[in-house]
Structure 1
Amino acid sequence: MSALPVSAICAYDATELGPATDELVCLHPFTCPDAGPFRLYADDPPAFAVSGELDLAGEALFGTTLRRTLPLSATQGPIVIDGRGLEFVDHRGLRHLDRHLTRVGTTAVLWTESDLLRRVAGILELSSLRVTGPGE
């Protein structure tokens, strides 16, 4: 059960929606693998979960998605993001998320099992995003 106000199962005709299709597809946890570069969706107990790939190819869509979803989080303190479903994140994806969090005046903890992702985040010295995982 989600902590956010709406969860739904959708079916829609992508040819009718046009460019808005990508913005809808990335908000669903269950889509076909080629539907979009990433998925950012409500999850419980963390506020959000993110899966797929965060890289230059999806950067604009990721920014749009963050602007529309993060303000919905009613958590006190850092927003918790479950990143266990991430298959790939480049340094630009981490910096993009960090900059967006700074712009909206909040912080987040991205939980991942990837040692490499945690090391990259440490090198980047992010100000609003902390990347953590097992044993931390």
Structure 2
Amino acid sequence: MTASPQCRPILIRGLDDALAAAAAVGSTGMPLVLMAPPAAGALWLNGVVERVRKAHPELEVTGLLDCGDRAGEAQAALASGSRLVLFTGRPDMADRLAAIAVARGGVLLTKCPAILDLGAVTAAEGRGLHRTAVLEALCRDWLAREQG
């Protein structure tokens, strides 16, 4: 399954990135999809998503975990409560994982949607108020952009 038109993932490196993305979404009514960096894992992402939900209970927040072609990791992510998983492995495995995802109320993506990667900003801007403002502006622009 490919991503829906409303799926505009933002690749985060930590809670600060996630909170800046949530602030940018504000009252747009758009869902917020936070994507974990490759080494983070489902439990880390689920924890970040939960903290963002507590800070912004009015937002619809979902985590997206990229499992690449690792079926076991995708299955473990679904078992841990992840509701949106990207798996780019064998089609027969994708079919099985999609059935598991649906049974758990989730979605399995087989193609990565376009993403906004906040990593470059995180490295270039340092810490503080200016960095947060830059992150929020980038996220607002990303979420407002037409997806083609």
Q: TM-score, normalised by structure 2?
A: 0.38
TM-score (ref. length: structure 1): 0.40
Structure (1/2) with the larger strand percentage = 1
More helix by share: 2
